[in-house]
Structure 1
Amino acid sequence: MVDTTPTTVRSRRNLRWIAAGALSVCLGGLGAALLYANTSNAISVVAINHTVYRDEVITSDDVKITSVAAPIGVDVVPAGDLENIIGKTALTDLTEGGLLNPRSVGDPVIAAGAVRVGLRLDPGRLPTQTLLPGTGVRLVPVAGDSGAPPSGGSVVAVVASVPQLQSDGAALLDVTVATADGERVAQLAAANQLAILQLPQAPK
């Protein structure tokens, strides 16, 4: 009588290999389908390249374009709006590597205990380098048109708008100061008795 046991074991092993191969093919096909679906649904959005803290101005180095699968229920900024984001102020801390939420950026907000004052400065009374919103400055009282020096010390402020150069060389800009200093700064500005010093900025 012939022993058929080895043939049976071999047949079972072959079936297992066939089943394993079929499963691998199915999984590979599923993975390819998912990859294709994610790729076909990818959109270009604005992402955070470097961490930006609240009240800091967003520069071109802080943001980048990235492609992601279309997020569901998540607000993002389309890549086409990148130029509109640069120069805006971070309203919340923006973490490196995250996607930019449109509600996280905007114009500078006046905090409680502060006021905003408009200045008109003659040529030579502010740095030639552009002062971006969020830049810390010191407002220094100087002699005005009358030549009489004003009383009182300097005032720390934060630039709230990019200076706008006028045809006569003067610059218009807004600054934010403590409420207690607002009235005095406004009076000095009206009398043309202010100059600006830029303060050292903390590195990012």
Structure 2
Amino acid sequence: MTRAVGQGDVVRSTDIGLTSVSVDRAVATIPASRLDEIVGRHALVDLSPGQLLGSRSVGELRVPSGRARVGLRLAAGRLPTVSLPAGAHVTVVETSPDKDAGPVSNLSTVDAVVVAAPKATSDHGSWLVDVEVDSSNAAQLADLASLDRIAIVERGQ
């Protein structure tokens, strides 16, 4: 590295220098022939000037900037019975706090993308699913999830 690059920042061609080194096979380095695989990707760790780049130093961010990942626990009947694969576009719907009050018209919705297919809990009474949402919706969604007041609807793209 020719200069410091913070975790999450994009690595530019001017951030990288080329050098010849002799290292043990246990030391992971990136050959100069793979430079195009590094430029434009994100630093997954803080990178310091003079540091050799390892294969796990750069890549794609787990959660893109401006997005958030929220884990949900849903009772049976609160998500489609058909498989929801990773990448499925869904709407997370706030459910009514009072089951006897009838339909409520001002409940919130949040568009989301399924991160991984839902998994049944060990007691098979509910499902666990991670969704990615706009970061501005994450706190509200996490709060509703903690109150067991959400359902998922799969939507077309």
Letter in 1 for 2:75: D
Higher relative contact order (CA 8 A, sep 6+): 2
1:112 is aligned to 2:65: yes
Q: Secondary structure at the match of 1:192?
A: coil
Q: CA deviation at 1:151?
A: 5.5
2:12 aligned partner: none
Give the structure with higher Rg (CA). Answer: 1
Report the Cα distance in structure 2 between the residues aligned to 1:182 and 1:193, rounded to whole angstroms: 14
2:109 aligned partner: 154
Q: Alignment identity in percent?
A: 36
**What does residue range 106-185 of structure 1 map to in structure 2 within 5 Å?**
109-144=62-97, 147=99, 152-166=107-121, 167-185=123-141
Q: Secondary structure at the match of 2:125?
A: coil
Letter in 1 for 2:139: E
Cα pair distance change 1:190/1:178, threshold 3 Å: same
Cα pair distance change 1:139/1:107, threshold 3 Å: farther
Q: Secondary structure at the match of 1:112?
A: coil
Report the Cα distance in structure 2 between the residues aligned to 1:135 and 1:107, rounded to whole angstroms: 20
Cα pair distance change 1:161/1:108, threshold 3 Å: farther
Letter in 2 for 1:157: A
**1:142 touches 1:150 (CA, 8 Å); kept in 2?**
no
5+ unaligned residues in a row in structure 1: which ranges?
Answer: 1-72, 75-102
5+ unaligned residues in a row in structure 2: which ranges?
Answer: 1-32, 35-55
2:4 aligned partner: none
Q: Deviations over 1:33-58 (max 9, x none)?
A: xxxxxxxxxxxxxxxxxxxxxxxxxx
Q: Deviations over 1:70-104 (max 9, x none)?
A: xxx89xxxxxxxxxxxxxxxxxxxxxxxxxxxx9x
**2:96 touches 2:107 (CA, 8 Å); kept in 1?**
no
- The two structures, once aligned, show a CA RMSD in angstroms of 2.7
Cα pair distance change 1:109/1:191, threshold 3 Å: same
**1:141 touches 1:150 (CA, 8 Å); kept in 2?**
no
Report the Cα distance in structure 2 between the residues aligned to 1:117 and 1:151, rounded to whole angstroms: 23
**2:93 touches 2:107 (CA, 8 Å); kept in 1?**
no
Q: CA deviation at 1:143?
A: 2.3
The count of aligned residue pairs is 98
**What does residue range 30-69 of structure 1 map to in structure 2 within 5 Å?**
none
Q: Deviations over 1:168-196 (max 9, x none)?
A: 42000100010110000000000000000
Q: CA deviation at 1:109?
A: 3.3
